[in-house]
Structure 1
C-alpha cells in the first residue's frame, strides 16, 4: 500500500513546480517533494491555474517526437517501419510482434512513462480544486474552479483512455481516494474515464473566442465521451453504442466539414477550420513535433539534404494496403482527393525526380505526407531542416466524429442513416460531388467491414488506428494480413493487443508484482 499522506505531499509540490517529467506511475508516487510547501499555500487558484495550463502543453509534448505520435503508428495495418529501421532490435518488435516486444522494451517504457505524469498532475489539480470549491463562496470563483476542474478531468480522461486501450488494467489515480498504485479492474478504470468526460462535457465552455485555441471545449468532451462509450471493452460494462450516439448528437451542430480536405493539413491555416474540435498547437521554433524527421525519406536526404521539406528517416511509412489503389489490392478508389493529400508518391524536387534508393529498398515507396511542413524548406526561411517541423495537429476533428456516429447508428440498426452520414464525408473526398458508383448503400454487416477502410482513407496516420483495431476485435487479423513485418514473422497473437507493462514499473512499484504482467509477456 502507498502512503496517502506521501501522495498528497508530492501532489502539492508538483502543483507548484509543474513536475511533468517523472518516468513512471510509481516513481511519481514514491518520491518525496523537494520543497517544503503547506497544503494551504498550494491550494489557491493562482497556483492551480498554471498547472492546468501545463496539462495542455504536456499533452501536446507527449505527442511530439518518435515516442509520441510516431511510435503510435508502428505495427499497424495502415503504417509500419521502414526497412533500415528494422535493424534496431528494440524498435523492430513493435512491428514484428515477436520476443523483441517485451517488458524490457525502452520504446514501450517511453510511451508508458510519458503519460503518467499528466495523469498525476491532473488528479492533483482535481483534488485541490475540490478542496477549494468547499470553501468558495463567490459564484464567479466557483465557476472558475469548475472550469479548471473540467479541463483537468478532460486531460486525465484522454490520457487514461490511451493507457487502458494500450495496456488494459491500470492504476486509477484519484488523490482523494487512492490508497495504492495497483492495477484496477476495467470497470473502475473506464468508470473514471466516463465520469471525467461526462463532467467535462457538462461543464466546459462551448468556445473560447479568438484566444485559448488549444483548450478543451464542451464539444471536444462530448465527442470523446462518445468515443469512450464505443471503445470501452464489453467486459468493462461501459460499451454502449446508444449512449455514444447521444453523446455525439450533443455536439454535432457546432462543427462542420471543411469543404477542402487539403486545408486541414495546410500549415498556414492553423486553427482556422470549422472541422477542428481539439487541436494541438505546434510551431517551428520552441514547440516542434519533429514528425517529418521520422516520416520523410532517407534517400531524399542523401540527394537533396535536410533542407528539403520532405526529407527524413523512414521510421513510419504507409503499408502497401494503405497506399495502393483498389485495383492493386489497396483501399483507394479513383478520384478520391484524400489519397494524394495524405500520401507522397512523387519525389521530385528542383526539377529532379529520384529513382534510385540510397539505403533501404522502400525509401522511394510512398511516404506519409500529412505532416510535411514546407516552412522547414531551405527556400522558405532560415530553418532549412525537417527537424523543425511544427505543423498543428488536429487531434479531434468533425469527420472522425461523423464516421464514429455512423458506426454507432449501424450497430443500432439504423444502417440507412449510417450510409448517409458516411456519404457526407465521402462527398467532400470527391470535391463536393460524389459519383453514384461510390455512394454507400451497404448492409449492416458490409458496413462493419467497409467502415474500417473508410477510416483509413479519411484518418490515416492521425493516431486512431490502433484503438480502432482493438475496439473492433480486428487487431490480429488485419495486421497479420497487411503489415509486411508482422506477416513475415507470423508471431502476432491476441495478447499483443496490449503492450507489456514496462519492467521499470514492475521493479519500482510494489503494487504491480511480476505475476501481474499482461498475459503473454510473463
Structure 2
C-alpha cells in the first residue's frame, strides 16, 4: 500500500483519504476514496477515516515490525538461502540512510491521518454534526490521539528526535519543512496524546471480541502507557497502568501446558496447533491479546508478510532462529514446540500442518498481549524492590508453558540487575519474534553487553537508526543522527 512517490509522501504525508477495503473486525462497510471537498460532511466519514488510519498502520508495520524489533538483536540469524542486502546490513549492524527500512514515511502517514481526524472532527462538532453523538465523537478522537501517540512512541525509540507534526498536510505540492524536536518534547507530546485519549474517554470494548482487539481500547491505551513508562524508567507509573490491565476481565492468559494431557507433542508436533496459545498467533484475537494489527487476505487482500521473514514452509525466509535463543529453552518448555522447527525455522506464526502460504500469509501482528504486560510489570516490581512479586509473575508465565518455576532459594541473594536478566530471558522466550527484543535490550541498557560480541555495537549513539536520505533531501531542516554523519 505504500506509494513510491516520495515527494507526495515527504515528511508528514499528504491528506490522502483513501480508505481501503472492508474490515470485518472493525465493522465498517466498504468505503471508496473521498476527495477533501466532499469529506467531513457527516459523521460516518470521520469514522471511515479512522479505519483508514488503521489500514495505514497495517502498511507501516507489515514486516517492518521484525526489522525494527528483531533484526538487530540476538533472536535471529541470517538464512543463507535468502540473502538480502538490507537484512544482512541489519544483522551485521551496518545501517545506512539508503536502506528502505530507514524511512519513517509509513508512520507519518498514520500521524497525518490522525491529524486530519482531530482537526476536522472538531470543526464538525462546531457545525453541530455531532449533536447528540458525543460518544461517537469521543470514540473517534480518542483513537486518533492513541494512534498518533503510538506512532510517535515507536518512532522516537528508533530515530530519537522527531519532527512533531500536529496539523494535517493538505497539499501534495506543499513545501513542507520542519526541524526535529528534542526527545523531551516528543515525550511530552506522547504523554499529552495518551492523556487526551484517556480523558475522551476511549472505550473499554467494542461490539465484538475481534474489534476490541483490533482497535485502541482503554486496555490497549494502558498497555501503551506501561510500555512508555518503562521506556522512561518511570516504574511507579508503569505499575499503576499495568495493574489496570491485570484487573481487567477482558484479558486472560491462553492455555498451553496441561499436566493431565496425554498428548506427546514430540511424537505429534502438529497437534500443538490446537492449543489456545498456538492459535493466538495463527488465528488471532485471543483472550490474551490486548492490541493487534488485523490482516485478512480473504476479505481485504491484506498481508503481514511474515512468510518473507519467518517460516521456511515452501518459501525461504530472511531469518532463522539463533542458537543463542533456542538454547534458552528446556526440553519441557512447550514454547519451543511452538516457536521452532527442527532446522531452525521460525514457525511461531504458522500452522505446523496444512499451512497455505498463498492465502494464509495474513497473520496478525500482536502489538501488546497480557504476557508482555505481566513481564514488564515484573521488571518494574524488581526495580522498586519487590523481588518476590516480580518472580511470582515470571513463574506465572513459566508455569503456563510447562517450564519449571524459580524457587525463592534459586534467586535469593541475586542483585537487582541479575533478577532483571532473568526477567529479560523470560521475555526472550515468551515474546521472541514479536518485535520486542531490540527494544528490551536498549530500554534496560544491556544492548552493548549482549550484542557487541554478535554485531559489534559498542556506543549508545549507534542505538538510533539513520534517517532516510530521501527524507533529508525533501526536508532541508532535517539533520542526520550523529553516528551516521
**TM above 0.5:** yes
Match of 1:266 in 2: 279
Match of 1:302 in 2: none
Match of 2:268 in 1: none
Deviates more, 1:175-184 or 1:18-27: 18-27
Report the CA distance shift for 1:114/1:438 in structure 2 as closer, same or farther (over 3 A). Answer: farther
Matches within 5 A, 1:9-408: 23=6, 27=10, 29=12, 37-38=36-37, 42=40, 44-65=42-63, 67-70=64-67, 72-86=69-83, 88-98=84-94, 101-109=95-103, 112-136=104-128, 140-175=132-167, 181-202=178-199, 203-210=201-208, 212-213=211-212, 214-232=214-232, 239-254=233-248, 255-260=251-256, 262-266=275-279, 270-271=283-284, 273-285=286-298, 286-297=301-312, 310-324=313-327, 331-345=328-342, 364=343, 366-373=344-351, 377=355, 384-385=356-357, 388-408=360-380
Cα deviation 1:220-239 (Å, max 9, x = unaligned): 1011111101113xxxxxx4
Secondary structure in 1 aligned to 2:147?
helix
Distance 1:195 1:32 in 2: 23
Report the CA distance shift for 1:412/1:293 in structure 2 as closer, same or farther (over 3 A). Answer: same
The answer to whether the aligner puts 1:475 opposite 2:447 as a matched pair is yes
Shift of 1:265: 3.0
Report the CA distance shift for 1:28/1:520 in structure 2 as closer, same or farther (over 3 A). Answer: closer
Shift of 1:184: 0.5
Shift of 1:453: 0.8
Report the CA distance shift for 1:282/1:144 in structure 2 as closer, same or farther (over 3 A). Answer: same
Report the CA distance shift for 1:158/1:440 in structure 2 as closer, same or farther (over 3 A). Answer: farther
Distance 2:77 2:115 in 1: 35
Distance 1:199 1:31 in 2: 24
Shift of 1:196: 1.7
Distance 1:462 1:498 in 2: 20
Secondary structure in 2 aligned to 1:55?
helix
Cα deviation 1:154-202 (Å, max 9, x = unaligned): 1111111111101100111211899952210111111111222233234
Report the CA distance shift for 1:411/1:64 in structure 2 as closer, same or farther (over 3 A). Answer: same
Structure with the bigger RCO (C-alpha within 8 Å, sep 6+) is 2
Shift of 1:271: 4.7
Shift of 1:37: 4.3
Query: What is the TM-score when the length of structure 1 is the normalising length?
Result: 0.76
Shift of 1:420: 1.3
Report the CA distance shift for 1:37/1:155 in structure 2 as closer, same or farther (over 3 A). Answer: closer
Matching residue within 455, 461, 472 for 1:506: 472
For structure 2, the 5+ residue unaligned runs are 18-33, 171-175, 258-274
Report the CA distance shift for 1:294/1:494 in structure 2 as closer, same or farther (over 3 A). Answer: same
The structure where helix makes up a greater share of residues is 1
Deviates more, 1:448-457 or 1:121-130: 121-130
Shift of 1:149: 0.7
Report the CA distance shift for 1:126/1:439 in structure 2 as closer, same or farther (over 3 A). Answer: farther
Shift of 1:70: 4.8
Cα deviation 1:252-273 (Å, max 9, x = unaligned): 2222211227423327973553
Match of 2:173 in 1: none
Secondary structure in 2 aligned to 1:278?
strand
Distance 1:247 1:463 in 2: 22
Shift of 1:475: 1.7
Matches within 5 A, 1:378-457: 384-385=356-357, 388-430=360-402, 434=405, 443-457=415-429
Secondary structure in 2 aligned to 1:277?
strand
For structure 1, the 5+ residue unaligned runs are 1-17, 233-238, 298-309, 325-330, 346-363, 378-383
Q: Is this contact kept in 2: 1:24–1:113, CA < 8 A?
A: no
Q: Is this contact kept in 2: 1:20–1:117, CA < 8 A?
A: no
